[in-house]
Structure 1
């Protein structure tokens, strides 16, 4: 992209969903992309898209739950594409089921991928960025980092953990006066393949809680965060804002609301085979490329005005201040006339 310097960017979970959409977007600006995921077919397709879009692709098959493998991937990335400028942690897996129907090994696996995978990726990035005193880490979060919902105890636990981990790390970087930045992007419900991939013990097929947004909305937010990492976090989608504000004001009321609605809103009317293994232990795109989109294209929104608002708090604050000043001046004139 004219006027921009190409960067070396690592994306975990790059073979599908948010990671795939983000890779496409960053490739269009000519970035050098290190694509990390387990599924080799999905990775190969993602790398091909990156190359055709004008970027440079280095696909590496890796399980982010393996700290050694993540470190080796980071070393290879710098050896082949140069110093890492941006590291985007995004990979995850999950189990849709009531907590009592999730086995200990399954819960551990979700935690190792969806939480410790972020920890390992962050460590690999910092080991390289801190000595240079530059670089950006983007943590892909969720509204569920603040507000837990039924049937997703493992995922919600991981996202809450990432939130706390990132806040603590940010304080440490500030203490050290480091110029390495870490920011988090809290996502709404997205139309990604995950709802057909994850292990589920629900009687009907899993779905994101409406309103649903396309993964390109997430990709735009991640790109912006990578360019503007001084903001500690970004909220994407009006539903994310509404959820977080409601949880802050009336969490008990929200508990009862989700207890009534949370089961039905996360399932379609189509039956589901509860024995389907999902991608918990093996990648779902090892032999088949699923791309960035899930099964909800007809219901998914391609944009959200709230994303612009999240990216332009300063302008909104100035506009609000100007409006208040104007209102105060008008009120003053009215009183003088009276």
Structure 2
């Protein structure tokens, strides 16, 4: 679809992927409706987007509340007359062993990450049905394909977001709504403040697990699927390789993921006190109202290339062995992936 002058709603816009996406759209002279719980962060973002040539408004919104999301959609239509693009992006998480996380926190992640997307999809698609066109973009995650330890609710929620996308696309096809599209974007680890304000009950500080990509890489992917609607897109070479490998050898990739999370997603040097993070209220740290989280997403190209080469190589071996039935070599391929993960994790 045509980007310039379109009306774009973005949830979770105050920081990270949402903020990067807003700035990308602003450079294309769109009309932006920016939603988040952080009022001051939204106001500064509106100023940045306006300076780039966009028209933008801020609508403070808690996406776990249905009425608030409906009000967000109504404000977009009142201000700009329509909704061309809706980006469901707001999400929260915790790091905790499954048996130790408070159930209240587990439910909160599901409320925001699943029901928040449901509310957003309802609000967007209702308006898009009336106008006959539009693009709904759901930001999921690679962990929706390969779940992680210690993030059970987040992994569940992102798998649910992928399922929601498939179901909605099927209904639109049956209803012959050719000009309404639902696209799902799967980012890998992204350099955002997300890890700084997640709830945590592990006793260890959560850090960005390599390989780390920039938030702008995801923002570009979102613009790409809006311009040329695509059912589902994994961001980055590593992300795409991991999805392919998991479908070829799920047990091996799940083991690699578990080991990598244990070794490089939770610090072995820096402790962390139990905290609910930003589950029930926005972070008050001004540093967390930014695109980046200080994880050097643009400077880890070498690590990405090492891991990517191993994953692609493992995939070629696995594919060939599936044809030959040579299972011992498959194990060797998985070992190659594991070695690359370990190498990429050093120094992070």
Answer yes or no: is the 8 Å Cα contact 2:211–2:303 preserved in 1: no
Residues 1:171 and 2:170 aligned together: yes
Q: 2: distance between equivalents of 1:81 and 1:266?
A: 42
> What does 1:1-338 correspond to in 2, within 5 Å?
5-178=4-177, 179-229=179-229, 231-285=230-284, 290-297=289-296, 300-301=299-300
Given that 2:190 and 2:214 are in contact with CA atoms closer than 8 Å, whether structure 1 keeps it comes out as: yes
Which blocks of at least 5 consecutive residues in structure 1 are unaligned? 307-338
Q: Secondary structure at the match of 1:291?
A: coil
8 Å contact from structure 1 (residues 23, 50) kept in 2: yes
**Structure possessing the higher radius of gyration over alpha carbons:** 1
- TM-score, normalised relative to structure 1: 0.85
- Kindly report the root-mean-square deviation, in angstroms, between the aligned alpha carbons of the 2 structures: 2.2
Could you give the per-residue CA deviations for residues 281-334 of structure 1, whole angstroms, max 9, x where no partner exists?
01014866621100212764589999xxxxxxxxxxxxxxxxxxxxxxxxxxxx
Does the 8 Å CA contact 1:214/1:301 hold for their aligned counterparts? no
TM-score, normalising length: structure 2: 0.82
Question: In the alignment, what sits opposite 1:322?
Answer: none
Query: Alpha-carbon deviation of 1:266?
Result: 0.6
Q: Which runs of 5+ in 2 are unaligned?
A: 306-348
Deviations 1:122-147 (A, max 9, x none): 10001100022101101111111111
For residues 268 and 19 of structure 2, the distance between their equivalents in structure 1, rounded to whole angstroms, comes to: 28
Equivalent-residue separation in structure 2 for 1:246 and 1:48 (angstroms): 43
Shift of 1:272: 3.4
Aligned 8 A contact 2:205 2:270 in 1:
yes
Alignment partners' CA distance in 2, 1:302 and 1:128: 41
Moved more, 235-244 or 151-160: 235-244
Alpha-carbon separation, structure 2, partners of 1:99 and 1:139 = 26
What displacement does 1:197 show?
Answer: 0.8
Say whether the 8 Å CA contact 1:64–1:70 is kept in structure 2. yes
Measure the CA separation in 1 of the matches of 2:183 and 2:23: 21
CA contact (8 A) 2:63 2:69 kept: yes
